[in-house]
Amino acid sequence: MAPRLRRHLTDGEKAQMWERWQRGESLHQIARSLDRRHSSIRRVLVQTGGIRPAPRHRPLRALTLAEREEISRAVALGESLRSVARQLHRPPSTISREIHRNGGRVAYRASQADQCAWDRAHRPKVCKLRKHRVLAKLVASKLQLEWSPMQIAGWLKQRSGGHEEQQVSHETIYRSLFIQARGALKKELLVHLRRSRAMRRSRHHTQKTDNHGQLTDMVSIRERPAEVADRAVPGHWEGDLLMGSHHSQIATLVERRTRYVMLVKVTGKDTQTVIDALIKHAHKLPRELYKSLTWDRGKEMADHQRFTLATDIQVYFCDPQHPWQRGSNENTNGLLRQYFPKGTDLSGYSRAKLDAVARRLNERPRQTLNFETPAERFQQCVALTG
């Protein structure tokens, strides 16, 4: 196969590349559509950490190419700077600086001056975290505790007392991590994000699908009481199995109102083992705090009626290929991958280790809870039932 000649992406190709990247297409898909190697696409994306740079534009008051052409012709004819300024309705000082910074009367050329002005204007604004090093150190310390940028930004806003210099947006934190040219946060902190990647991916990049088998006598999620759907009262949970290597798994449970997380150790994914573990775990909670359970259509819940008879907890099932109907649990499983990456053998984790991971998640402030923690909200519910 003859080697391809290296050629730079045109502005149109770059625009198409970014649009496809934001739609969630892979490097190989983008490369095929542009007839390029995927390494060439990656080279462009990684320069900004997978974050599309903001489009550049000229300031409204800047000299235009047409005005520079007028200046060039006037200089060639030997006209004075003041007469040129009057024609263009510009201050004489603007015309003087323009000519002197671009070679003077003898060497001034409109097209060259216009390009030089565009190149000189490329001065990115200094990142806030680079200017405020104390704030950057505080952000780094929270990242090391596995707090998300959104949680850090919300926490800072609450404690800042309205002082802008003590706040930073979650988007600034992400950009400081993925765009190392900003020089604000070290690249090593990327490993503390929920999903550590060299580049920021579109939220559309992957979508989990549900291809589990059919169960019998299921109660549809559409039959859940309204109080479950609107998270009006505590005690309604969502669950699923988080899978690992060598046929290992753990059961994950999330309370819908408080987002409180519990992890259940299971030694197998057959329905008897899973149901036995869930029954044993259900008896640890007050009845008022465990009223229903919403699950995906996995075969591990084939014996769901035995669970309901043993605990008096009704199980509801999502619609086919609609795992997002238990969105709190789906989100939590994504967060747990930070501690249990895909391909990890989960059978070696002890009950104490699972509790420690759950505690880490439950002690993080959550945006949806107005930056309170799930542990705080859940303890309020426990106190009310007591």
pTM: 0.51
Q: Is 233 exposed, middle or buried (0-12, 13-18, 19+ CB in 10 A)?
A: middle
CA distance 309 to 306: 5
Contact in structure between 293 and 305 (CB atoms under 8 Å): no
pLDDT in tens, the chain (386 residues): 455 556 778 888 888 888 888 888 888 888 888 888 878 888 888 777 787 877 778 888 889 999 999 999 988 888 898 998 998 999 999 989 999 999 888 899 999 999 888 888 776 677 888 888 889 899 899 988 888 889 999 999 888 888 888 889 888 888 888 877 677 788 788 888 877 666 777 666 654 444 444 577 888 888 888 888 888 889 999 999 999 988 899 999 999 999 999 999 999 888 999 999 999 999 888 888 999 999 988 889 988 999 999 999 999 998 887 888 888 999 999 999 999 998 899 988 999 999 999 999 999 999 989 999 999 999 998 888 76
C-alpha to C-alpha distance for 262 and 354, rounded to whole angstroms = 8
Instruction: Count how many residues are written for the chain.
Output: 386
Q: How far apart are CA 134 and CA 125, in angstroms?
A: 19
**DSSP symbol at 184:** S
**Class for the domain spanning 221-385:** alpha beta
CA torsion 221-231-365-363 (nearest 10°) is -70
* Residue-range domain boundaries for the chain: 11-46, 65-120, 128-192, 221-385
DSSP SS3 for 155: helix
